Amino acid sequence: MKSILKKIILSSAVMLSLTSCEDFLSYNKYGEPSSDSFWQTESDARRAADGLYFWMEADGVTGRGFMHYYNCSDDVITGRTQAGCAAMKNFIANYSRDVVQNWPKMYQLIKLCNDIILNVPEMNIGQETKDEVLGQAYFFRAWAYFWLAPYYGDNSINGGIPIVEEGLAVDQLDVPRPSSVRENYKYCIDDFKRAEELLPYFSELKESDYGRPHKSACQAYIAKVALWDAQYDASSYAITVEYCDKVINSGKHSLLPEFEDVFKVVNNYSPEYIFSFISSEVTGSILPGVLLENKGWGLYNGWGYFTPTIELLNAFEEGDRRLDATILKPGDRFEFLGDDKLYYSNESLSGMQFRKYMDPFKPANAIGTTLNPNGDYPTSTLNIPVMRYAEILLMKAEALIWQGENGDQPLNMVRQRAGLSPLSNAGKEELIKERRCELAGEFSNRMLDLLRWGKAKEYVENPLHGYSVQPKTSHPQSIDDLDISVIECWPERSFDQDVNHVFPIPANEIAKSKNLKQNRGY
Nearest to 110 by CA among 180, 19, 176, 197: 19
State the Cα–Cα distance between residues 79 and 487, nearest whole angstrom. 14
Which one has a higher pLDDT value, 409 or 65? 409
Contact at 8 Å (CB) between 394 and 414?
Answer: yes
* pLDDT at residue 363 in the model: 98
* pLDDT at residue 94 in the model: 66
167-189: per-residue pLDDT in tens? Answer: 887 778 899 999 999 999 999 99
Structure confidence at residue 9 as a pLDDT band (50, 70, 90): low
Residues 6 or more apart in contact with residue 274 via CB below 8 angstroms: 216, 217, 220, 247, 253, 387, 388, 389, 391, 392
Q: Pairing state of beta strands 307-308 and 339-342?
A: unpaired
Is the pLDDT confidence value at 474 over 50? Answer: yes
Max distance between CA atoms of the chain, in angstroms, equals 73
Q: Mean pLDDT of all residues in the chain? A: 92
30-42: per-residue pLDDT in tens? Answer: 334 445 689 999 9
* pLDDT over 70 percentage in the chain: 92
332-373: per-residue pLDDT in tens? Answer: 999 999 999 999 998 999 999 999 999 999 999 999 999 999
* Exposure b/e, 245-280, CB count within 10 A at least 16 = b: ebbbeeebbebbeebbebbbbebbbbebbbbbbbbb
CA 495 to chain centre: 23
CA 329 to chain centre: 24
Nearest to 422 by CA among 412, 434, 435: 412
Dihedral class, residue 39 (left if φ above 0, else alpha if ψ from -120 to 50, else beta) = left
Decide: helix, strand or coil at residue 222. Answer: helix
Decide: helix, strand or coil at residue 276. Answer: strand
215-234: per-residue pLDDT in tens? Answer: 999 999 999 999 999 999 99
Nearest 5°: CA angle at 322, between 320 and 323?
A: 80
User: Which of these CATH numbers, 1.25.40.390, 3.90.110.10, 1.20.140.10, 1.25.40.10, describes 2-203+501-511?
Assistant: 1.25.40.390
Decide: helix, strand or coil at residue 481. Answer: helix
Structure confidence at residue 65 as a pLDDT band (50, 70, 90): confident
* pLDDT at residue 365 in the model: 97
* Dihedrals phi, psi of 227, to nearest 5 degrees: -65, -40
Domain ranges of the chain: 2-203+501-511, 287-382+462-490
* pLDDT at residue 20 in the model: 40
Contact at 8 Å (CB) between 413 and 393?
Answer: yes
State the Cα–Cα distance between residues 83 and 518, nearest whole angstrom. 23
Mind giving me the DSSP string for 195-245? HHHHSPPGGGS-GGGBTB--HHHHHHHHHHHHHHHTTT-TTHHHHHHHHHH
State the Cα–Cα distance between residues 389 and 319, nearest whole angstrom. 22
* pLDDT at residue 35 in the model: 54
308-320: per-residue pLDDT in tens? Answer: 999 999 999 999 9
Length, in residues, of the chain = 522
* pLDDT at residue 81 in the model: 85
Which one has a higher pLDDT value, 300 or 29? 300
State the Cα–Cα distance between residues 231 and 237, nearest whole angstrom. 9
Is the pLDDT confidence value at 102 over 50? Answer: yes
* pLDDT at residue 96 in the model: 60
State the Cα–Cα distance between residues 350 and 294, nearest whole angstrom. 12
* pLDDT over 90 percentage in the chain: 85
* pLDDT at residue 319 in the model: 97
Contact at 8 Å (CB) between 417 and 259?
Answer: yes
Structure confidence at residue 93 as a pLDDT band (50, 70, 90): confident
Residue 212 DSSP symbol: B
* pLDDT at residue 271 in the model: 97
* pLDDT at residue 21 in the model: 39
* pLDDT at residue 7 in the model: 58
Contact at 8 Å (CB) between 349 and 78?
Answer: yes
Decide: helix, strand or coil at residue 281. Answer: coil
118-141: per-residue pLDDT in tens? Answer: 999 999 999 999 999 999 999 999
Which one has a higher pLDDT value, 63 or 25? 63
Report the pLDDT averaged over residues 465-483.
96
* The model's pTM: 0.94
